Amino acid sequence: MSATDAIGILDTATELARINDGQVKKLPTLRGRTIVNLFAEDSTRTRISFEAAAKRLSADVINFSAKGSSLSKGESLKDTAQTLQAMGADAVVIRHSASGAAQRLADLEWMSGSVINAGDGTHEHPSQALLDAFTIRKHLGKGASDLTGLRIAIVGDVLHSRVARSNVLLLSMLGADVVLVAPPTLLPVGVESWPATISYDFDAVIPNVDAIMMLRVQQERMSDLFFPNAREYSRYFGLNSERMSAMAKHAIVMHPGPMNRGLEIAADVADSARSVIVEQVTNGVNVRMAILYVLLAGGPLVVGSN
């Protein structure tokens, strides 16, 4: 995906947002197309967001979660994909705990439809990055099409975060300067090669950025002890109201959700006027509508991950 493609999706989402804000809630664009939500890992907002996006474009949606399906009986991804293909799915939105699952599904031609990565393991979450870029551009872009000159801090559990990886790639491609802030134990190997600077000192970074994106501490993926205890993590890397008051006046607070209130983000910060966390969810529907529109409305198109 190039910067031009990404800006194209953001522009499409902007127009769709304007339509969704008005009286029109349902568009006939994808009538008769079938979209399968294949969620082999738990998700609330991404699945509902894709479902809402598909339904607003009049597509038929089939939800498929690992629990209660043959995936829990041990059916392979390939067999599942071929079943979906046989049922005539035009697109599959896939969330999987294995990194690269979506790429594999798209590359190996098990099915002819589009494959949309809705998060694969600790690897990537492209639609989240696009909605974050959309939110940043809307609040801070001043009418520009890309994010040139903006400084964005991504703070917290970078190691387990597919949101962080996708955001670093997308935001830097769109011209933003990205700073990763995390304890050294929560940074992945090879992070030096990412297009981002790294800091261990949250307080030094705060006054210099336009947006702070807090990441969820993913305790369910932590097989080891990555920090001494929650209070210490919160003291050094949590966003509380004291730290928020040190932010630039125009700066915004973001979080991909679900939040651990009191751990990486204080409740009063999450609910403050600077927080765009609820708006991120709204924007998510618009951005996912744009993704479905670009992939499904037109003729054949080459599909890749981020």
18 vs 250, which CB is nearer to another protein? 18
**Strand ranges (E), the chain:** 34-39, 60-65, 91-96, 114-120, 151-155, 177-181, 197-199, 211-214, 252-254
11 vs 279, which CB is nearer to another protein? 11
30 vs 182, which CB is nearer to another protein? 30
Q: Any residues with CB less than 8 A from the CB of 168 and at least 6 apart, and which? A: 154, 178, 180, 194, 195, 196
139 is catalytic: no
Residues that bind another protein (CB under 8 A): 8, 11-12, 15-16, 18-19, 22-24, 26-29, 57, 293-294, 297-299, 301
Catalytic residue among 14, 29, 45, 197: 45
**From CA 182, how far away is CA 232, in angstroms rounded?**
13
123 is catalytic: no
- For 189-198, letters b (16+ CB in 10 Å) and e give eebeebebee
Catalytic residue among 12, 46, 122, 135: 46
Least distance in angstroms from the C-beta of 296 to another protein: 9
73 is catalytic: yes
68 vs 300, which CB is nearer to another protein? 300
End-to-end, the C-alpha distance of the chain in Å comes to 6
> In Å, how far from its chain's centre is CA 279?
14
Least distance in angstroms from the C-beta of 47 to another protein: 24
14 vs 99, which CB is nearer to another protein? 14
Torsion of CA 45, 48, 52, 58, to 10 degrees: 150
67 is catalytic: no
Tell me how far CA of residue 8 lies from CA of 1, 3, 134, in angstroms.
Answer: 11, 8, 11
Residue for token pair 């197309």:
33
216 is catalytic: no
Least distance in angstroms from the C-beta of 28 to another protein: 6
26 vs 73, which CB is nearer to another protein? 26
SS (H, E, C) 150-169: CEEEEECCCCCCHHHHHHHH
Least distance in angstroms from the C-beta of 8 to another protein: 7
**From CA 260, how far away is CA 258, in angstroms rounded?**
7
Catalytic residue among 125, 137, 151, 255: 125
Catalytic residue among 56, 95, 123, 160: 95
**From CA 284, how far away is CA 294, in angstroms rounded?**
15
Least distance in angstroms from the C-beta of 27 to another protein: 5
Residue for token pair 């387990």:
160
Least distance in angstroms from the C-beta of 56 to another protein: 10
Active site residues: 45-46, 73, 95, 125
